[in-house]
């Protein structure tokens, strides 16, 4: 069961992303971004889990994957 404080934290992150979208014009929740994000997430995390060195740093690898997917979507779909 998810605690109430964690739910508030997740809601705050969502609203922060929505405000970031409006101010800068960067879209996170479009079909093209989500397609790149989830396909690359599956492949990158599968490779990282198989690597002994990267297995300890999965959260960092996940963050880098997000920024790379964002950059790709801005370059190719903007």
Would the pLDDT of 11 be above 80?
no
Give the model confidence (pLDDT) of 20-73 as tens digits. Answer: 667 766 666 677 778 888 999 999 999 999 999 999 998 899 999 988 988 888
Task: Specify the higher pLDDT residue, 48 or 16.
Answer: 48
Report domain extents, the chain.
Answer: 4-76
- CA 67 – CA 56 distance, rounded (Å): 20
Question: What are the φ/ψ torsions at residue 69 (nearest 5 degrees)?
Answer: -65, -40
Predicted TM-score (pTM) of the model is: 0.63
Neighbouring C-alpha atoms within 13 Å toward the C-beta of 16: 6
Q: What is the widest separation between alpha-carbon atoms in the chain?
A: 40
Q: Do 50 and 2 contact (CB within 8 A), yes or no?
A: no
Give pLDDT, residue 75: 84
């Amino acid at each position: 069961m998810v605690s109430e404080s964690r739910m508030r934290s997740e809601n705050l992150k969502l609203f922060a992303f929505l405000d970031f979208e409006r101010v800068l014009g960067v879209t996170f929740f479009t079909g093209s971004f989500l397609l790149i994000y989830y396909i690359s997430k599956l492949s990158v995390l599968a490779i990282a889990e198989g690597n002994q060195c990267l297995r300890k740093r999965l959260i960092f690898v996940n963050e880098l994957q997000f920024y790379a997917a964002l950059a790709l979507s801005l370059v190719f779909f903007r």
